[in-house]
Amino acid sequence: MACMTIADDVNTDQAGADALTLGRRVRAFRIRQGMTLEALAAAIDRAPSQVSTIENGNREPRLALLRAIASALEVSVDDLLDPEPPDERSALEIAVERAQRGSVFSALGIQPMRVGKTVPDATLQAVLALHQEVERLHRERAATPEEARRANAELRASMRARDNYFADLETIAADMLSVVGHSGGPVSHQTVTEMADHLGFSLHYVGDLPHSTRSVTDKRNGRIYLPTEQSASRDSRSPILQAFASQLLEHDEPGNYAEFLRQRIETNYLTAALLLPERDAVAFLTEAKNFRRISMEDLRDAFAVSYETASHRFTNLATARLGIPVHFMKVHESGTIIKAYENDSVSFPSDALGAIEGTPVCRSWTARTVFDVPDRFSPYYQYTDTPRGTFWCTSRIEKAKEGDYSVSVGVPFEHVKWFRGRDTSHRAVSRCPEETCCRRPPSALSEKWEGQSWPAARTPTSLLAALPTGTFPGVDASEVYDFLERHQPR
C-alpha cells in the first residue's frame, strides 16, 4: 500500500501528513550521513530546491526517486517510509505543520509560520497548544443538539441491528461474577464491593460530591467517591458498578458526543448484566415463558433491582435468548420520550434526523394512558391498535427528581401469549402520525377557542439550553478537580 501511495503526487490532507514524516526522515538520514542539501541533490540528479520541497513535506517523491534517495543515503525504502518521526524535535515540527495545514487554522486567517530549525521548541509548543485549544473550542461549538440527536439515532440503529444484545459485555460480566464467586441469585452489595476491591478500588462515601456527578473515580489513587445520601429512586449498587464498569471496559476519555453516548450505553449494559447475570436471568425468563407468565415485576423482584433496570435487561435478552421482538420506552409525564428502543417494527415518532428523544408520544399509547390510572401500585396492561399492527404493553410509573416517568415494555400481538397481563380489557386505537389522532383538537373546540386563548408555556429549561460541553458533557471539570485535590490521600 505504501508503494501505491507514492506512485503519484497526491495533494490530499492525509497524503500531506505522510509527506511531512517522510520529509523529516529524509532530512534526518541526510544529516546523519553528513551530507549537505546540495550533495544529496547532486547524488540523485535533482535540483536542491526539489530536495528541499521533499524535506519540507510539500511533495511526495515518486517511487523511482524515493529509491534513488534511499540509495544515496545508504538506507532502505522502508526506513524512509517508517511512519514514526525520527526524533522528538521532528515530531513537534510535524505536529505544528499539520496543525497549520488543517481547516481550523486556515479558518483563522493567520499567516502560517515557517517551521525552521532556528525556531525554539518552546515557540513551537506554544503554537501547538494554542491550536489545540482553538480546535477544542471549535468541536464544542459544533456539538449542537442536532449532533446529539443524530448520534442517538445512529446508536439506536446499531443496537437494533444486534437485537440490543452485546455478547462481549455478557462475557465480561460473567467473568467478573465468577472471579468473586457469585453462585446465583441477587447480587449483594457486599459482592459489588468485592468486585471493586478486585479491580483495585476502595469505596469512599462523602458529603461534598460535585453536584453534577453521581460518582467520581480517582484512577491515580484507586478510589471511588460516592454520595453519603442515597437517592430513594436509585439502586445503591448501580453507581458503584457504573464507576468501575468504565475502567473494566477500558474506556478512554470520549472524543465526541457519539462516543460519549456509546460509552454510556456500554456502561449501563454491563451494570445490568452484573446485577441480572445472563445465565440466571435467562433461566428465570425461560421458565416464565414456558408457563406463559413473563412479568417485569417478577424479574425485578427476583433480582432485587428497579423496574427500569429489569425492563432494560429484558430488552437485552428478549430477542437474542427468547426469540421475542420487543420495544421499550421511558416517557416523561409531559409526554415526551426520554429513551426508547425497538426491534418489533413499532413506529416511534421521530424528527427529520430520525431521532426520537424529545418527541411527543401518542396520547393513546400505554406510555401515556398509564399516567391517568389511579392505581400506581399494580402493573398496567393495554393493547393498542396502530397503523403498524396491534401491540401489547405493560407499563409502570416511576418517580424521579425531574418528575414522574412511565417505563413501558411492549411486544407485537402474536407474542403476547408469553406474558402475564395478556387478558387485559384495556384497549386503545392510535392513528398517529395522523394529526387527527391526538395532535389536532376537535373542530368544535377549535372554532370556539382558536384566537381566544394565550397559554403561558412551561418550557423545559433543557429545550433552550445549549448541549452541555466538555469531555464529559454536563460535568464541571473544575469542580471535580477541586474535589479530588481536597480528598486525595496525604
Virtual torsion, Cα 88, 91, 95, 97, nearest 10 deg:
110
The DSSP 8-state label assigned to residue 332 in this structure reads E
- Other C-beta atoms closer than 10 Å to the C-beta of 145 total 17
- Which pLDDT score, from 0 to 100, does residue 409 have? 97
2-111+121-140 carries CATH number 1.20.1530.20: no
Q: What is the pLDDT of residue 357?
A: 83
**Residue 17's pLDDT is what?**
45
Please tell me the predicted confidence (pLDDT) of residue 8.
Answer: 34
Cα–Cα distance between 22 and 28 in angstroms, integer? 10
**DSSP 8-state symbol, 489:** -
Q: What is the CA radius of gyration of the chain?
A: 30
Alpha helices (runs of H) in 366-406, residue ranges in sequence order: 366-369
Tell me how far apart the alpha carbons of residues 348 and 408 are, in angstroms, rounded to a whole number: 13
Q: Is 146 in contact with 355 (CB distance < 8 Å)? A: no
Q: What is the pLDDT of residue 145?
A: 64
pLDDT of residue 289: 97
- Report the C-alpha gap between 338 and 163 in whole angstroms: 20
260 half-sphere exposure, CB direction, 13 A CA radius: 17
Give CA–CA dist 310/324, Å, rounded. 16
Would strands 389-400 and 403-412 be described as parallel, antiparallel, or unpaired?
antiparallel
pLDDT score for 6: 29
Q: Specify the domain boundaries for CATH 3.30.450 within the chain.
A: 278-440
* Orientation of helix 63-73 relative to helix 13-32, angle to 10°: 20
What span, in angstroms and rounded, lies between the C-alpha atoms of 320 and 166? Answer: 10
pLDDT in tens, the chain (490 residues): 333 322 333 333 333 447 889 989 999 999 999 999 999 999 999 999 999 989 888 888 888 899 999 999 999 999 999 889 998 998 998 888 888 887 777 667 778 888 888 899 999 899 888 888 887 766 655 556 667 777 888 888 899 999 999 999 999 999 999 999 998 889 999 999 999 999 999 999 998 888 878 889 998 999 999 988 766 556 788 989 998 888 899 888 887 778 888 999 999 999 999 999 999 999 999 999 999 999 999 999 999 999 999 999 999 999 999 999 999 999 999 899 999 999 999 999 887 667 788 889 999 999 999 999 998 888 999 999 999 999 999 999 998 877 899 999 999 999 999 999 999 999 999 998 887 888 777 788 878 877 777 776 554 544 444 445 555 666 777 888 888 889 888 7
Taking alpha carbons only, the member of 316, 311, 339 closest to residue 169 is 316
Task: Measure the CA–CA gap between 20 and 56, rounded to whole angstroms.
Answer: 7
C-beta pairs of 297-304 under 8 Å, 24+ apart in sequence: 297/379, 297/396, 298/420, 302/186, 303/186, 303/187, 303/275, 303/276, 304/186
Which pLDDT does position 476 carry in this prediction? 75
**Residues ≥6 apart with Cβ < 8 Å to 202:** 196, 222, 223, 224
Portions of the chain given CATH number 1.10.260.40? 2-111+121-140
* Closest of 404, 396, 394 to residue 426, by C-alpha: 394
Instruction: Look at residue 7 in the predicted model and tell me its pLDDT.
Output: 32
Contacts of 182 (CB under 8 A, 6+ apart): 191, 277
Q: Which helix (H) or strand (E) holds 23?
A: helix 13-32
The domain 154-275+474-490: what is its CATH number? 1.10.10.2910
Helix 257-275 to helix 167-179 angle, to the nearest 10 degrees? 50
* The predicted structure's pLDDT at residue 352: 67
Q: Which residues contact 142 (CB under 8 A, 6 or more apart)?
A: none
Residues 6 or more apart whose CB falls under 8 angstroms from that of 34 comprise none
How far, in whole angstroms, is CA 291 from its chain's centroid? 38
Q: Smallest Cα–Cα separation from 55: which of 74, 82, 80?
A: 80
Are the beta carbons of 15 and 61 closer than 8 angstroms? Answer: no
Type of residue numbered 195: M
DSSP state letter for 360: B
Cα–Cα distance measured from residue 47 to residue 37, given in angstroms and rounded to the nearest whole number: 9
pLDDT value of residue 141: 56
DSSP 8-state symbol, 413:
G
Assigned fold of 278-440: Beta-Lactamase (3.30.450)
User: β-strand 216-218 against 223-227: which pairing, if any?
Assistant: antiparallel
What is each CA distance from 428 to 26, 245, 421, in whole angstroms?
75, 41, 16
Set of cell numbers at residue 414: 402474536
Give the per-residue pLDDT at 159. 92
Contacts (Cβ under 8 Å, ≥6 apart) of 121: 89, 92
Residue range 452-487, pLDDT digits in tens: 777 765 545 444 444 455 556 667 778 888 888 898
Give the C-alpha distances (Å, rounded to integers) separating 411 from 128, 373, 391, 397, 408: 55, 21, 6, 19, 10
Please give the grid coordinates belonging to residue 283. Answer: 433461566
In whole angstroms, what is the distance from residue 356 CA to residue 341 CA? Answer: 10
Q: Kindly give the residue spans of alpha helices, DSSP state H, lying in 162-295.
A: 167-179, 189-198, 238-248, 257-275, 278-290
| C-beta of residue 329 within 8 angstroms of C-beta of residue 402 | no
